[in-house]
Structure 1
Amino acid sequence: MYEYGCLDCARQFERLLPMNAADQHIVIVCPFCQSTHVQRRLSLFAAHSRGETSAPAAAATTSGGGCSCSSCGCGSRS
């Protein structure tokens, strides 16, 4: 799933394409104004969990090896 923004009508839309779509030179058309003047946008995804902590975060704190720079000061090591 890729997100696109139309540079003519300024609307955003999504297209489901194979991962090798860039290699195939597929022309993307805005579904609102039919313009081909579109730009692929950076897509962000959301992950939801049912508990207060997610499994990867809990595993990182109990394994002793994983931490974020804010919690263990990775940037301050010499």
Structure 2
Amino acid sequence: MPIMLLDDSLKVEVFYEETDEAFADNICICFEEDCPPNEKIFIADETNIFLTPEQATQLAAALVTAIAESRVAARER
């Protein structure tokens, strides 16, 4: 399921890359940009970062922690 960010100019997809099953880092985070060159974050239109399951777990945990902190801060306002 794609996640659209930055006014829909950055598509992020996370998936298990079956063709890379022989490698430890077979979880892909794919970034695709559709914006003018002067607004790009990445050099290429598509950039892939491959993670091991352990790294993906760490990233997921960091996101969950940030979400919890954001919700607490929102309640305190």
After TM superposition, the score normalised by the length of structure 1 is 0.27
Structure number, greater radius of gyration: 1
Larger relative contact order (CA 8 Å, sep ≥ 6)? 1
After TM superposition, the score normalised by the length of structure 2 is 0.27
Q: Which has the higher helix share?
A: 2
